[in-house]
Amino acid sequence: MKTTFNRRDTLKLGGCMATAGGLAACQTTTNATTTEADGLGKDRIPLEFNNPRWNRDMIVKIQGNTIPEKEKYGWYGGRVIGTRPGEVDKHLFDFEGFSVARMLPLGDGNYRKVLREVGFYLDKDTGQILETYLNPYSGERVNVVPIANDPFNFTYTEFYPDPPRYGGLNTERPPRRPYLLNWRDFGDRVLMYRDINLFYPSALQPDEWPRESPGAMTRVSEMFSYNFPKAKLQDPDLTSIEHMGVWNRITPWLPWMLMDQRLGHCVYVCDFSGRDTWDGIPQQIVDAAAAIDPKYLEAPTEDYGPNLSSLETYKLSETPAPVNK
């Protein structure tokens, strides 16, 4: 699935689309024998899974490109499942979007990732972007609100950063920990796992947003599994490591579903990839992002903020729905 998108043309038309590591690393250092098949010379980077600096260097190449002038394109797509107590889960709709990231060097090998991202909800049968949706739980037709986050930035050092503040709503500050990710060595391939689990006051409080709110608190978990050819992690000449993987997210009902604080939640079951080109991102997603604002087709060139979650962004762009009588 390759897009015919030309970013320069689209920009002219338009105005001229989250970490913890708890398991022990499966291996300390790997020095594999050089072979002609892997395409590398005699110099290879050892896989130092228990070295915080090596972990930082790898995640910078995975999440972006160490050359600041170059961008990294993240695609994600899959389905959204509704789950409620006492009944079978429902495939509600599909989800697809992308991010564009840039790495800004901070010195001493540290980087600040600056990123914009969009996400769109799709009809599960036709694949077309939804503008309205017939909620199967309420029988009500509701307006669909896409995700458009600008920015969502992150600093990579030899230590885990604090969790996102989300406009000051999340005050959790865990002890400082060395930046060690969860790696699994499978011969010619390597897997890496990253999880994030958050529980903080909701941006959409029930007294002001009775139909949209998940309640007084927001509980969100995200689970990532990355898949790499081992040779890419060991190649000293790469400034960016392309990859693919699986992303799952457990989140409250989406606010635009107007669930009136019914019990239950959504589960995202998605694939993702990180590429150095736009290849694989469907044209309708690119066009929809450009229609929101052409800026979403480029990464920021400087650091600014604050980072806001999609719920905080929703609060800024929407108004509370009238209460049903």
The residue assigned the tokens 């050089």 is: 34
SS3 59: helix
Q: 283-292 and 7-15 are packed helices; what angle lies between their axes, rounded to 10 degrees?
A: 30
User: Which pLDDT does position 171 carry in this prediction?
Assistant: 77
In a domain, 216, yes or no: yes
Q: Give a yes or no: residue 20 inside a domain.
A: yes
In a domain, 84, yes or no: yes
Residue 133 lies in a domain: yes
Contact between 199 and 219 (Cβ < 8 Å): yes
> Judging by DSSP bridges, how do beta strands 90-107 and 110-122 pair with one another?
antiparallel
- Residue 74 located in a structural domain: yes
Q: How many domains does the chain have?
A: 1
CB 300 within 8 A of CB 151: yes
The answer to the question of residue 325 being in a domain is no
The C-alpha atoms of residue 187 and residue 31 are separated, in whole angstroms, by 12
Residue 273 located in a structural domain:
yes
- For each of the chain's 325 residues, which pLDDT tens digit applies? 444 444 444 443 334 333 333 333 333 344 444 444 455 555 899 999 999 999 999 999 999 999 999 999 999 999 999 999 999 999 999 999 999 999 999 999 999 999 999 999 999 999 999 999 999 999 999 999 999 999 999 999 999 987 766 666 777 777 889 999 999 999 999 999 999 999 989 999 999 999 999 999 999 999 999 999 999 999 999 999 999 999 999 999 999 999 999 999 999 999 999 999 999 999 999 999 999 999 999 999 999 999 888 889 999 999 999 998 7
pLDDT of residue 209: 98
Encoded tokens for 169: 């709503």
Cβ atoms 27, 183 nearer than 8 A? yes
The rounded distance, in Å, linking the Cα atoms of 81 and 61 is 32
Q: Provide Rg for the chain, Cα atoms.
A: 21
Residue 1 belongs to a domain? no
Q: Amino acid identity of 95? A: F
Neighbours of 146 (CB within 10 A): 20
For position 324, what pLDDT does the model report? 82
Segments forming the whole domain that contains residue 113: 7-35+45-317
Q: How far apart are CA 274 and CA 64, in angstroms?
A: 8
Pairwise CA distance, residues 16 & 246, whole Å: 37
CA distances from 149 to 4, 40, 53, 136, 306 (A): 25, 39, 29, 28, 11
Whole-angstrom distance, CA of residue 260 vs CA of residue 258: 6
Question: In this structure, are residues 140 and 258 in contact, taking their beta carbons and an 8 Å threshold?
Answer: yes
CB 317 within 8 Å of CB 147: no
Closest CA to 74 of 123, 36, 129, 18: 18
